[in-house]
Structures are given as structure tokens and as C-alpha cells.
Amino acid sequence: MKKVKHVVGFAVLVVTAVVGAAAQQPARGTPPPPQPLTTSKYLSHDTVAGCSKAGTFVNTPEYIVQCSNRTGPGVVEVHTKETDVIYVIDGSATFVTGGKAQNVTATNPLQPRGTDIQGGEAHHLTKGDVIVVPAGQPHWFKEVAGSVSYYVVKVLKQ
């Protein structure tokens, strides 16, 4: 029953993000190149596997659907052209949004990174929570209690 709830929650999240458009840690591995989605994309519970294996499920020019699993804090991220819609499926974390990213470096100008956030808002994320981070807003998995698994739909600015 839990897996069914996860798949249903995932489907609702994808539909909401796509309709609304028209970690933080990237999913492991090289995502497939963006391809327009011309037919429905079904992901079985075996494929999703509770997000224990991070990966990119869908990569289109308009959005990306990923699964990530963290066992520790990340770096501050700013996605200049991506809005992140995050749905926590297991675990918990302190997630900071907003404020000003500190010690920013940008090997990729569309994905600057930092070491801290000054003046941000801390959110305690747990199973079932959803948070939406608009493009350009600093965000950070500051603390992870054990591990946290989540789906992320990245809605891309054109």
C-alpha cells in the first residue's frame, strides 16, 4: 500500500508541475539528453524503488523528473533557470531557502554553488512534505538526520 501511495503521490506531483509550468543534489549518473515527451511515461514501483537508487526518470526541454537520496548535508545551490518541486518520500532534513548565498562559486553560471546561506528560512522537511523553490532562490540541505529521499521535478525556464 505504501508503494501505491508513493506512485500516486509521484504522479500528482508530476502533473501539478507540468500543468503549473504550461538536493538539491543532482541525481546520480549522467541524465539522458532532453527529449520531448510525446506519449505517457509510466514508471513502475520497481523502477522508482522508494528512491533508494537516485536517478533521472524523465528529461525534457520543459522539465526533469528525478529521484534523490541524501545521507548528509549538501552545498548551497542556486538554479537560475530551474524551479524545484520537491516531495519528500522518506526521512527528514533541515532545508534552508531564500536569503543570500555565501562564498559563491560558479563553474557553471546557471548553477552557482555556495557554502552557507545568510538570512534564509529553515524548514524541517519530513515524509510527505512538499516544498517549491523558485528559480534563482538559494536553497540548501543543511542537515540530514540519517537519510532523506525525495522526488524533484525541475521546471525549466525557457
Specify the CATH number for the domain of residue 87: 2.60.120.10
Instruction: Report the predicted TM-score, pTM, of the whole model to 2 decimal places.
Output: 0.79
Instruction: Assess whether pLDDT exceeds 80 at residue 48.
Output: no
| Range of the structural domain that residue 64 is part of | 2-156
Instruction: Assess whether pLDDT exceeds 50 at residue 6.
Output: no
Rg (CA), the chain: 15
Instruction: Assess whether pLDDT exceeds 70 at residue 21.
Output: no
| Cα→Cα distances 85→18, 39, 46, 115, Å | 11, 22, 23, 22
Q: Which residue has the higher pLDDT, 125 or 38?
A: 125
Number of domains in the chain: 1
For the residues 130-144, what does the mean pLDDT come to?
98
Q: Which residue has the higher pLDDT, 81 or 30?
A: 81
